[in-house]
């Protein structure tokens, strides 16, 4: 009796090769469609894009910031909490993403849900995070955005429209994410 080797479908093999080449930098993301980047990164594309609901929250320094303050920038809006293991896992990659793009038309708004200011400040200081942290101490903004699990992240384009949503933790410092952010930044703000 012959033992048959497992057969890998052509589609799975091609996708694996494509991901490997993208990771190695062998394929320029501009050669791929915008749709492919979303799919490869596991980001739910919102089509058509939806206007992001504005909100105002305090940052760790006590200043009030509104989402509308960042119109003209690509916003990675992340909902998290310091006790959340997957949130803790993804935050170092968010810091890398922030450091790569903070001088461009890009901002991270990390919205902590229902924790005290001192607790969040201590956590972020200990970890060395420098991206903007906002406090949603009563969970009001989380409810507006329909957050049922954390981390949950939204990608908002320069026009203030939600173009993508991610449920769960991601490696935000991957080459694919960098290419997607570059693409979103490069789009002309038509408003």
Please determine, for residue 46, whether its predicted confidence score (pLDDT) is greater than 60: yes
Q: Is residue 19 part of a domain?
A: no
Collapsing DSSP to helix, strand or coil, 34 comes out as: helix
Q: Is residue 14 part of a domain?
A: no
Quote the tokens at residue 77: 């809006």
Provide the CB-side half-sphere exposure for 104 (13 A, CA). Answer: 18
Minimum mean pLDDT among 4-8, 40-44, 56-60: which range? 4-8
Q: Between these two residues, 1 and 91, which has the higher pLDDT value?
A: 91
Q: Is residue 71 part of a domain?
A: yes
Q: For 101-124, what is the mean pLDDT?
A: 96
Q: Is residue 40 part of a domain?
A: yes
Q: Is residue 4 part of a domain?
A: no
What pLDDT is recorded for position 37?
85
CA distances from 47 to 35, 85, 106 (A): 10, 30, 21
pLDDT tier, 23 (very low <50, low <70, confident <90, very high otherwise): low
Q: Can you give the CATH number for the domain in which 41 is found?
A: 3.40.30.10
Please count the structural domains in the chain.
1
**Residue 128 CB burial class (10 angstroms; 0-12, 13-18, ≥19):** exposed
What pLDDT is recorded for position 40?
86
Q: Is residue 130 part of a domain?
A: yes
> What is the C-alpha to C-alpha distance for residues 142 and 80, in angstroms, rounded to an integer?
10
Instruction: Tell me which residue range forms the domain holding 133.
Output: 33-186
Q: Is residue 134 part of a domain?
A: yes
What pLDDT is recorded for position 39?
86
> What is the C-alpha to C-alpha distance for residues 117 and 104, in angstroms, rounded to an integer?
28
In the chain, the N- to C-terminal Cα span, in Å, equals 68
């Amino acid at each position: 009796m012959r033992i048959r080797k497992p057969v890998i479908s052509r589609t799975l093999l091609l996708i694996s090769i494509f991901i490997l080449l993208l990771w190695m930098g062998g394929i320029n993301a501009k050669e791929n469609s915008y749709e492919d980047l979303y799919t490869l990164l596991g980001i739910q594309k919102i089509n058509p894009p939806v206007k992001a609901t504005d909100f105002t929250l305090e940052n760790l320094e006590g200043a009030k910031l509104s989402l509308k303050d960042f119109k003209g920038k690509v916003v990675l809006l992340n909902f998290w909490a310091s006790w959340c293991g997957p949130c803790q896992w993804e935050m170092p990659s968010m810091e890398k993403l922030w450091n790569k793009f903070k001088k461009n038309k890009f901002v991270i708004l990390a919205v902590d849900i229902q924790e005290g200011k001192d607790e969040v400040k201590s956590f972020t200081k200990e970890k060395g995070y420098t991206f903007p942290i906002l406090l949603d101490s009563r969970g009001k903004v989380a409810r507006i955005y329909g957050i049922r699990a954390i981390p949950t992240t939204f990608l908002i384009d320069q026009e203030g429209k939600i173009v993508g949503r991610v449920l769960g933790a991601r490696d935000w410092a991957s080459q694919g994410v960098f290419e997607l952010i570059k693409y979103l930044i490069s789009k002309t703000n038509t408003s």
